[in-house]
Amino acid sequence: VPAPKRIGVCTGGGDAPGLNAVIRAVVLSAARLGWEVLGIKHGYQGLLDVSQTRPLTEPDVREITALGGTILGTTNRVNPLAFPAPGPGGGTVTVDRSGEVLANFRALGLDALVTIGGDGTLRIAQRLFEQGLPLVAVPKTIDNDLEATVVTFGFDTAVSTATDALDRLRTTAEAHRRVMVVEAMGRLAGWIALHAGVAATADVILLPEIPFDIDAVCRHVLARERQGLGYSLVMVAEGARPVGGEVVTTDVREAGHEVKLGGIAALVATQIAERTGKETRTLVLGHLLRGGPPTTFDRLIALRFGAAAVRAIQAGQFGSMIALDPPVMKAVPIAEAVSRPRRVPLDCDTVQTARSLGICLGDPA
């Protein structure tokens, strides 16, 4: 008789449409095998405070495939390896609480963990795995900047939302003969800006991968003007920066959290207005890209990621991350997936297509 199995599942980092579909697939696949599933709430928080857990059975995951957010809650602030604690003299220090995570994992009677998250969550997962926690990771990021998987769930939804926004902004930009500068998420990689920008035929797309020359952008805007096209749509990734310049950050500073990017659209818009005399407006899409129901594509791959994670546990493939390598889902070492961010290759087909379509990517002349 096989030993009874009990697995945990948690969602960490920024949310992404499709998280609930992954949870559903994990719960139903595990139930088929006779395993129990415990939901760990708020990322790794539920493994530091065991009251933050809840059993998950079939009724708990009914009709959640199309639901945005995560029924387990998430956070990008809880790192058990560097947890803020009061320090001497009233300051704050960070302490390693991974021992508690392992002890709680055992106390909860868990045999394995499915951890769903992006770069930060996966790095923590790798360390917990090295310390003896049997886990399988499912990659998650709307930014699509994780190595080893060709795509993450949530990305397609974010691109669809951004494309829809650009389509809507085009008509008002045209009506007013304005330059609309639209900022999309994408800290390290410009996948969302590139895909939505090409799909919606933005006139300019600025990516973190190509430091931009504002003069090249302005020349493009003015060339359109001479062609009688008095408006332009500029799509800029939050992590884009001018040649020789820095990324633009907000003044939001949260302990143990990466610096928040934001504001590049305003900077670009101001410079375009100054240099071309054109009226400009900005829109930061921000968290809108993380909300709403996942697209059909994201629902399907999220369900596939969840089911594959349970199969990987069954096969004892701990320390691995499920990766989509079409047409298959495969298990790859987590360490490989977090080795470096997956940036947009400058020679990739979509970049070439953007250039062929006459879209300005801000390259210096």
Which strands sit side by side in the sheet containing 36-40, from one edge to the other? Answer: 53-56, 36-40, 6-11, 112-117, 135-139, 320-325, 328-333
Binding site for ligand F6P (CB under 6 A): 14, 76, 118, 141-143, 185-187, 238, 260-261
Least distance (Å) between residue 188 CB and ligand F6P: 8
Cβ distance to ligand F6P smaller for residue 261 or 334: 261
Least distance (Å) between residue 100 CB and ligand F6P: 25
- Residues 134-154 as b or e (16 or more Cβ within 10 Å = b): bbbbbbbbbbbbbbbbebbbb
Tokens encoding 275? 């240099």
Q: In 3-state terms, the chain is what percent helix, strand and coil (to 5)?
A: 40, 20, 40
Nearest-CA neighbor of 68 among 289, 286, 284?
A: 289
Least distance (Å) between residue 185 CB and ligand F6P: 3
Residue whose CB is nearest to ligand F6P in the complex, by number:
185
277 vs 33, 104, 221, 234, CA distance in Å? 66, 62, 11, 16
In whole angstroms, give the CA distance from residue 250 to residue 237. 14
In whole angstroms, give the CA distance from residue 186 to residue 237. 5
Cβ distance to ligand F6P smaller for residue 252 or 348: 252
Cβ distance to ligand F6P smaller for residue 76 or 98: 76
In whole angstroms, give the CA distance from residue 205 to residue 236. 6
Least distance (Å) between residue 137 CB and ligand F6P: 16
In whole angstroms, give the CA distance from residue 214 to residue 362. 7
Cβ distance to ligand F6P smaller for residue 179 or 184: 184
- Catalytic residue, candidates 15, 143, 203, 298: 143
Cβ distance to ligand F6P smaller for residue 76 or 280: 76
Least distance (Å) between residue 163 CB and ligand F6P: 17
156: annotated active-site residue: no
239 vs 150, 161, 179, 190, 353, CA distance in Å? 21, 19, 20, 8, 22
Please identify every residue annotated as catalytic: 143
